[in-house]
Structure 1
């Protein structure tokens, strides 16, 4: 892990096409080659990169008191603080801003994961309470700005806040497109972890409460009742499998993407064309990307009512 840490403090998720795998032993040549790559411009918060290493190294330091582990975790935290935009958002990569990497990225919960780590640092919770105390104040500031960014990026339609998109333009805070099949759209997935993060605010302001309540009302509004998604064998397809959305009594799912101004579920393949049926996009995407799921179910059934009880708000919408 320390060998893979880049000079700027963050970590890559992959080197070229090879995913970083900490279970894979490094030969002397691998180690030397990786250390020589320390200035590579590929540090990211995508796919758990950087946050997972900070967490692991902070825990390892608490168990071993090895100063190298502490330094690695602290440098990772400084990377997060450095990469954050003044408006509180986090890009997917830093300092590589090519393509869509500069966008504020909620996709795959990247930004929220960073804010959760920084909030634990700000609160001096284990395993971060043994790290450099000078990180506490900037971590607290980073979290406050992050919450502000989250509130400002909640998509408002005709005066009503809804949910969040997977990525935003870092200057205008408007919804943005990333990969060809990830158009600007409301997310039935990433919005869940954003709400969970906001529920963790100890003394939520009226603005935070409104954001949570509005998002929960949106989840209720857009749920697809009486449907489920199933994975099936498809011998005729190159992938050998397929995913289908089919009726099922008592089941409820949510789409990954909803049209910004209609709340209509959309399914987009590599041609970037909007379709309203999962079956209309190519099998490679249907089998390789999750376009529907039950992400908000636990929030609605358990976590939101518990949060309401804790903060003393109104009834479940």
Structure 2
């Protein structure tokens, strides 16, 4: 039996290896002025039509500055649902009108709570930091309620769905897409690392957080795709029963996902004393990133006639051009078994050139990205050096 010093409290957990967590002093981030975690949700609120939104932005919607901590935290409270979670696709920094606040208060709906697009886990992190600064009990209470919501939403196999409690359709799948499960795991990791802004967590909740984290870590390792005896990476979604890669929306087919896998690897590399399973998972994923990188091209945004689609307005277009000096790039999806880069349309059919994707999907989805580059060039070398030093001690 070992001891965790978490938030100046002692949690006694017989099965958890405490030395798997990286040192607190090296990783704690108290920069509450960093509101980038809300960026994806803001983008969807401002730029993409969401037919489930309770309020929509006005043409002259103003925003709070990152220094307006109290106002932003108070906004976050307005969006929290009765079950403790948050809906997605709103701007937490928007200066809301009295009418918008009234609408939010009158339309509380626990069926739309989610971990998609940064929802719930980002609000919990912010409220915890806001409480550490302002000592407003409402922020602490809301954060605790949010953490309990996260724990309730976890499957017995350790995974988290995209939505909870609405598990209809693809919402039930274990979701790595847009950082959903990694975001939840990061909150739990910060609690277990003893981050000072979680000093309000009591022993009972801390123990439950530790158990949930360990189950989540086991689930991540079990979801890693193995082909012909070799570990590769992860899909955006995995079946909540079989853990196999699966599709979600019509254009989100079962595949190997580069961006989501890079986020998972970064999470795994934050573990201080990784065991063999974690080391193998990281090494295998990085080897796959290097194997499938694409050289000599870049994606160019070009002017085009404006078209209004159901979910967004397209004022430009995207094309792939040859460029020998371009850094390596990755497609969002790679075929299972073959590793062939591919794309898809709303008809659910794979295509193999960006030009064969409809303009609506070309401009409304991120088909290429550079996320693995940070892992390969920055994080992975530092991780290798760190674990080598640990082994030599």
User: Is this a same-fold pair by TM over 0.5?
Assistant: yes
1:163-189 Cα distance to aligned partner (Å, 9 max, x none): 100001100101111011100010011
Summarize the alignment of residues 69-80 of structure 1 with structure 2, pairs less than 5 Å apart: 69-80=139-150
1:137-172 Cα distance to aligned partner (Å, 9 max, x none): 111111111111111011111000101000011001
Residue 230 of structure 2 corresponds to residue 160 of structure 1: yes
| Greater relative contact order (Cα < 8 A, sep 6+) | 2
Q: State the TM-score, normalizing by the size of structure 2.
A: 0.75
User: Which blocks of at least 5 consecutive residues in structure 1 are unaligned?
Assistant: none
Superposition deviation, residue 133 in structure 1 = 3.5
CA distance in 1, matches of 2:307, 2:200: 53
Bigger mean CA deviation after superposition, 234-243 or 64-73: 234-243
CA distance in 2, matches of 1:206, 1:291: 33
SS in 2 for 1:180: coil
1:254-309 Cα distance to aligned partner (Å, 9 max, x none): 01000011000001011111111110110111111110111111111111011000
1:186 corresponds in structure 2 to 256
1:42 corresponds in structure 2 to 112
Superposition deviation, residue 20 in structure 1 = 5.0
1:23 corresponds in structure 2 to 94
Pick from 83, 89, 110: which aligns with 2:153?
83
1:29-67 Cα distance to aligned partner (Å, 9 max, x none): 544443343343111111111011101111111111111
The structure-2 alpha-carbon separation of the partners of 1:136 and 1:61, relative to structure 1 and needing over 3 Å to count, comes to same
CA distance in 1, matches of 2:85, 2:322: 45
Pick from 224, 238, 242: which aligns with 2:317?
242
Residue 77 of structure 2 corresponds to residue 2 of structure 1: yes
2:70 corresponds in structure 1 to none
Residue 220 of structure 2 corresponds to residue 145 of structure 1: no
Q: State the TM-score, normalizing by the size of structure 1.
A: 0.93
Residue 281 of structure 2 corresponds to residue 206 of structure 1: no
Summarize the alignment of residues 112-127 of structure 1 with structure 2, pairs less than 5 Å apart: 112-127=182-197
Pick from 366, 376, 388: which aligns with 1:300?
376
Pick from 267, 270, 288: which aligns with 2:343?
267
**What RMSD, in angstroms, separates the aligned Cα atoms of the two structures?**
1.6
CA distance in 1, matches of 2:110, 2:205: 25
Structure with more helix by fraction: 2
1:54 corresponds in structure 2 to 124
Superposition deviation, residue 236 in structure 1 = 7.5
SS in 2 for 1:304: helix
Bigger mean CA deviation after superposition, 145-154 or 33-42: 33-42
Contact 1:105 1:111 survives alignment (8 Å): yes
CA distance in 2, matches of 1:87, 1:40: 23
Superposition deviation, residue 235 in structure 1 = 3.0
CA distance in 2, matches of 1:285, 1:36: 35
1:176-221 Cα distance to aligned partner (Å, 9 max, x none): 1101110001001110000000001121110000000000000000
Contact 1:255 1:266 survives alignment (8 Å): yes
Pick from 36, 41, 63: which aligns with 2:133?
63
CA distance in 2, matches of 1:31, 1:85: 34
Bigger mean CA deviation after superposition, 58-67 or 230-239: 230-239
Superposition deviation, residue 234 in structure 1 = 2.1
2:331 corresponds in structure 1 to 255
Summarize the alignment of residues 221-240 of structure 1 with structure 2, pairs less than 5 Å apart: 221-235=291-305, 239-240=314-315
2:49 corresponds in structure 1 to none
CA distance in 2, matches of 1:20, 1:102: 25
CA distance in 2, matches of 1:102, 1:26: 34
CA distance in 1, matches of 2:306, 2:200: 56
Contact 2:122 2:183 survives alignment (8 Å): no
